[in-house]
């Protein structure tokens, strides 16, 4: 079983981040409930099927590569629960990467930044840079599965 430990923030100003090349991301949810989700994702030329269990900072995550044909076959089942965004990677100190997602379509105007960690204690000790906005790690409204069908939080 894989574990995802991640903190998430809402960005208000992208500034220089927009100069970094972006990768298009399309993802849709096949199943989602309070603490579980199954999604498919196309990021650039890579396709994955992912199952996540749990909410907030630490969750179980299982990711499997799939083919473009499998993605295309499953995509219609995600109607009404999709996300389109572009992703940029920003290098941070201590060899960390910030994943900046600029949302499109029904989520246009929303930008988030996520940082992944190997341990919960490291995640909790992380001091975000000034250019990060408010933290939303524990705010379910900002989870991608909720954004996909509920839209931007007010």
Q: pLDDT category, 15, cuts 50, 70, 90? A: confident
Q: pLDDT digit string (tens) for 53-68? A: 988 899 999 999 999 9
Q: Is there a contact between 44 and 24 (Cβ–Cβ < 8 Å)?
A: yes
Which pLDDT value is given to residue 151?
Answer: 93
Q: Count other C-beta atoms under 10 Å from residue 25's C-beta.
A: 21
| Coil, strand or helix at 119 | coil
Distance CA 20, CA 88 (A): 6
Domain ranges of the chain: 2-150
Q: pLDDT digit string (tens) for 30-44? A: 999 888 999 999 999
Which CATH number applies to 2-150?
2.40.320.10
Residue 50 Rama label (left phi>0; alpha psi -120 to 50; beta): beta
Which pLDDT value is given to residue 1?
Answer: 56
Q: pLDDT digit string (tens) for 104-126? A: 999 999 999 999 999 999 999 99
Tokens of residue 52, six digits: 């996540």
Residue 78 Rama label (left phi>0; alpha psi -120 to 50; beta): alpha
Q: pLDDT category, 92, cuts 50, 70, 90? A: very high
29 is catalytic: yes
Determine which one of 29, 47, 99, 142 is catalytic.
Answer: 29
Q: pLDDT category, 88, cuts 50, 70, 90? A: very high
């Amino acid at each position: 079983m894989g574990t995802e430990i991640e903190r998430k923030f809402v960005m208000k100003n992208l500034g220089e981040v927009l100069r970094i090349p972006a990768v298009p991301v399309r993802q849709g949810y096949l199943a989602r409930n309070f603490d579980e989700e199954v999604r498919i994702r196309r990021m650039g030329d890579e396709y994955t099927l992912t199952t996540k269990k749990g909410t907030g900072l630490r969750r179980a995550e299982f990711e499997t590569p799939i083919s473009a044909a499998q993605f295309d076959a499953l995509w219609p089942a995600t109607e009404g629960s999709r996300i389109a965004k572009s992703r940029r990677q920003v290098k941070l100190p201590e060899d960390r990467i910030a994943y900046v997602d600029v949302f499109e379509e029904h989520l246009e105007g929303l930008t988030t930044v996520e940082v992944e960690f190997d341990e919960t204690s490291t995640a909790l000790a992380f001091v975000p840079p000034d250019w990060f906005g408010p933290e939303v790690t524990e705010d379910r409204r900002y989870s991608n599965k909720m954004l996909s069908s509920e839209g931007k939080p007010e």
